[in-house]
């Protein structure tokens, strides 16, 4: 993980800052964390701490719900999105590269 990703994933933002940045209420944020839409770190005193990436996630949840999606639909969307961005490994990358090379070669066209 590069430095930027590491910093964006570091949980340092308190609930008060999150509320100002997202426009959500404390009750909404607690509801999303309690329902595992957002997994947060806790300080030694038990205070929720958020990363910059989690702020983006909260804004995405807010956007989805504002567009009329249910919480269950939003959770499913986020799971697919998260799976898509975290399932890349060497084997998957090689398969994608192979498929792209095959499609661009004269042997890859099925026409």
The whole-angstrom distance between residue 84's C-alpha and the CA centroid of its chain comes to 10
Residue 23 is part of which domain span? 3-81
Rounded CA separation 88/71 (Å): 27
Q: What is the pLDDT of residues 51-91, one digit of tens each?
A: 999 999 999 999 999 999 999 999 998 888 766 555 555 66
Give a yes or no: residue 55 inside a domain. Answer: yes
CATH number, domain containing residue 72: 1.10.1660.10
Q: Which of 14-28, 47-61, 84-98 has the lowest mean pLDDT?
A: 84-98
- What is the tally of structural domains in the chain? 1
Q: What's the predicted TM-score (pTM) here?
A: 0.70
């Amino acid at each position: 993980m590069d430095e930027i990703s590491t910093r964006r994933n570091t949980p340092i933002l308190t609930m008060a800052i999150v509320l100002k940045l997202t426009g959500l209420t404390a009750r909404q944020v607690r509801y999303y964390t309690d329902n595992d839409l957002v997994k947060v770190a806790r300080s030694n005193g038990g205070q929720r701490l958020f990363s910059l990436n989690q702020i983006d996630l909260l804004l995405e949840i807010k956007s989805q719900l504002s567009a009329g999606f249910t919480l269950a639909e939003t959770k499913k969307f986020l799971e697919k999105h998260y799976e898509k961005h975290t399932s890349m490994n060497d084997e998957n990358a090689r398969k994608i590269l192979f498929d792209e090379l095959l499609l661009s070669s004269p042997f890859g066209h099925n026409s």
